[in-house]
């Protein structure tokens, strides 16, 4: 049948070109030798001009890591990772870190322009022209290991907001970093978090003082560029009493045959009546159609609602990475605090994703909502893994969980693994799950209305994910929709 041949050709074509962000930037790099030992940790700390307490903290993490083993419980398969075969530090040559955009290598700026990241504030402002009153977005860009530019720092400073590379924060706001770093994800929390704690190179730091509503969206773009380099970024966001912030991260990497390791840690702290919204559009290189290359993405993200009535909301659209291992979690410690998790995870070709969330209810009247949408195509395998735990003091706590899986084709898999632990009689936990396929009837109906097969799949998938996409900030919702479509191109046969 011609339709089959055509689909196959489309797939072949797309497998070669579908990852638009797969370019490499030619920049002179300062790279640490391969391998991981105490010397590496010391070198990183020294290169970053860190104080002694930071080095001590890293070494503590490194020693803990040496005693730990890689977790094996996730539903993912990969050859053993040789942690000695990677570089743990790479930074564009030009030291110390750039102070303004003028000092940034023009090649770098070109890279970000290609990615559509508006680094120049002027360009950004020009981009928001029109009748719509859209808030500008402050961007922190992390290239391999180093944060290269943070925009709008001045405007933010006037509002009392600190938004800067975490390496700057360590030097300039040591009291804040020391007070919060590692309090949500302790150095020895898990294998990958310990690794990150030892060798993290940069990331973003956000501090919103009491009563301040952050005047704009904050955004970080991460890009892995150098070969054989691990990227370990560390993000710390603190919202004091009645503070509000919305933060978005985006990720890309060049196409390479070998796998690259990415192990990030994100910590969020929300005090009384504070609100943190953390959105991710993750598009690391997923590997080719045979499963060669791609990013191994082992990420620990956790937020604590420390104050009463505080709120933490995670929204993620995960379309990239060869392997995704990621469970953004909320610890609901403040009375009446709220945790939310909205997720779309798409896997195609040979991608594997084991992702979900943990909602730990410690205090009375805490509430959590989990909406997880999983889409599997090709030979991919996707698992939702979620824990809802009601501790003895969580009186009248409530959780609602909904997990929906959509299968495209008959070679893929979707699994839902909910863990529910309730230690309080008054707590209420609800769990709903569905699995469906895109039906021939739906496809034919759309096509008979003039839509191509690809557009039809895109439309149906976006409909399936609507509850999650509507949680994303406006501009990124559009980007996410396009990304979903690109990720699934050629997946129907």
Asked if 478 is part of the footprint of other proteins (rule: CB under 8 A), the reply reads no
Residue whose tokens read 């690809």: 454
**How big is the site for other proteins, counted in residues (CB under 8 A)?**
25
Q: How many residues does the chain have?
A: 493
Asked if 130 is part of the footprint of other proteins (rule: CB under 8 A), the reply reads no
Give the Cα-Cα-Cα angle 413, 418, 423 (nearest 5 degrees).
175
Q: Which two tokens stand for residue 252?
A: 């890309």
Asked if 466 is part of the footprint of other proteins (rule: CB under 8 A), the reply reads yes
| Contact call for residues 476 and 279 (beta carbons, < 8 A) | yes
Question: Cβ 118 to other proteins, closest distance in Å?
Answer: 24
Q: Which of 208, 349, 191, 319 is nearest to 269 (CA)?
A: 208
Question: Cβ 490 to other proteins, closest distance in Å?
Answer: 16
> Which of 8/447 has CB closer to other proteins?
447
Of the residues 105, 121, 467, 475, which one makes contact with other proteins according to CB under 8 A: 467
Question: Cβ 480 to other proteins, closest distance in Å?
Answer: 14
Distance separating alpha carbons of residues 480 and 103, to the nearest angstrom: 32
Segment interacting with other proteins (CB under 8 A) among 13-21, 56-64, 215-223, 455-463:
455-463
Of the residues 228, 244, 435, 462, which one makes contact with other proteins according to CB under 8 A: 462
Asked if 175 is part of the footprint of other proteins (rule: CB under 8 A), the reply reads no
Asked if 402 is part of the footprint of other proteins (rule: CB under 8 A), the reply reads no
Asked if 80 is part of the footprint of other proteins (rule: CB under 8 A), the reply reads no
Asked if 452 is part of the footprint of other proteins (rule: CB under 8 A), the reply reads yes
Of the residues 186, 415, 459, 475, which one makes contact with other proteins according to CB under 8 A: 459
Asked if 451 is part of the footprint of other proteins (rule: CB under 8 A), the reply reads yes
Q: Looking at 189-309, which runs of residues are DSSP E strands? A: 204-208, 217-223, 234-239, 244-252, 259-262, 265-270, 275-282, 294-305
Of the residues 66, 447, 474, 482, which one makes contact with other proteins according to CB under 8 A: 447
Q: Looking at 69-184, which runs of residues are DSSP E strands? A: 90-92, 137-143, 146-150, 162-165
Question: Cβ 454 to other proteins, closest distance in Å?
Answer: 11
Give the Cα-Cα-Cα angle 223, 270, 165 (nearest 5 degrees).
30
Spatial CB neighbours of 219, under 8 Å, sequence gap ≥ 6: 137, 138, 139, 140, 247, 248, 249, 250
Q: Which of 365, 314, 374, 306 is nearest to 334 (CA)?
A: 306
Question: Cβ 319 to other proteins, closest distance in Å?
Answer: 18
Of the residues 84, 103, 432, 445, which one makes contact with other proteins according to CB under 8 A: 445
Question: Cβ 164 to other proteins, closest distance in Å?
Answer: 39
Q: Which two tokens stand for residue 195?
A: 């690794």
Asked if 455 is part of the footprint of other proteins (rule: CB under 8 A), the reply reads yes
Site for other proteins in 414-443 (CB under 8 A): 439-442
Distance separating alpha carbons of residues 151 and 135, to the nearest angstrom: 14
Site for other proteins in 331-370 (CB under 8 A): none
Helix (H/G/I), strand (E/B), else coil: 479? helix
Asked if 5 is part of the footprint of other proteins (rule: CB under 8 A), the reply reads no
Which residues of this protein are in contact with other proteins, per CB under 8 A? 1, 3, 439-442, 444-453, 455, 459-460, 462-467
């Amino acid at each position: 049948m011609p339709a089959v041949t055509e689909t196959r050709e489309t797939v072949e074509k797309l497998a070669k070109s579908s990852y638009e962000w797969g370019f490499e930037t030619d920049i002179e790099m300062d790279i640490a030798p391969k391998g991981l030992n105490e010397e590496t940790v010391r070198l990183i700390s020294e290169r970053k001009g860190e104080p002694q307490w930071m080095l001590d903290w890293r070494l503590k993490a490194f020693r803990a890591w040496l005693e730990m083993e890689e977790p094996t419980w996730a539903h993912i398969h990969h050859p053993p990772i040789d942690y000695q075969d990677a570089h743990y530090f790479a930074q564009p040559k030009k030291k110390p870190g750039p102070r303004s955009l003028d000092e940034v290598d023009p090649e770098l700026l070109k890279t970000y322009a290609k990615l559509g990241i508006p680094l120049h504030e002027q360009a950004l402002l020009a981009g928001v022209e029109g009748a719509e009153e859209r808030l500008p977005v402050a961007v922190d860009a992390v290239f391999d290991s180093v944060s290269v530019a943070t925009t709008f720092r001045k405007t933010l400073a006037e509002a009392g907001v600190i938004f800067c590379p975490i390496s700057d924060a360590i030097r300039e706001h040591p009291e804040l970093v020391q007070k919060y770093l590692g309090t949500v994800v302790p150095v020895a929390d898990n294998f990958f978090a310990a690794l990150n704690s030892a060798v993290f190179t940069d990331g973003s730091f956000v501090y919103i003082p009491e009563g301040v509503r952050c005047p704009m969206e904050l955004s970080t773009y991460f890009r892995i560029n150098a070969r054989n380099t691990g990227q370990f970024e560390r993000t710390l966001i603190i919202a004091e009493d009645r503070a509000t912030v919305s933060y978005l991260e985006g990720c890309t990497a060049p196409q390479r045959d070998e796998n690259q390791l990415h192990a990030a840690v994100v910590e969020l702290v929300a005090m009384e009546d504070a609100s943190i919204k953390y959105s991710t559009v993750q598009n690391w290189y997923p590997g080719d159609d045979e499963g060669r290359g791609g990013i191994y993405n082992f990420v620990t993200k956790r937020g604590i609602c420390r104050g009463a009535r505080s709120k933490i909301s995670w929204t993620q659209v995960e379309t990239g990475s060869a392997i995704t291992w990621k469970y953004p979690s909320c610890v609901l410690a403040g009375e009446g605090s709220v945790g939310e998790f909205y997720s779309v995870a798409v896997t195609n070709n040979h991608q594997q994703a084991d992702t979900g969330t943990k909602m730990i209810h410690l205090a009375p009247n805490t509430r959590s909502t989990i909406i997880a949408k999983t889409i599997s195509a090709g030979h991919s395998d996707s698992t939702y893994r979620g824990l809802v735990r009601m501790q003895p003091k969580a009186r009248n706590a409530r959780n609602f969980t909904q997990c929906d899986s959509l299968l495209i084709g008959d070679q893929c898999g979707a699994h839902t693994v909910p863990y529910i632990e309730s230690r309080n009689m008054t707590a209420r936990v609800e769990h709903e799950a569905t699995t469906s396929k895109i039906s021939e009837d739906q496809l034919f109906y759309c096509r008979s209305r003039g839509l191509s097969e690809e557009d039809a799949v895109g439309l149906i998938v976006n409909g399936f994910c609507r509850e999650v996409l509507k949680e994303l900030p406006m501009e990124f919702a559009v980007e996410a929709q396009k990304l979903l479509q690109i990720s699934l191109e050629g997946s129907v046969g």
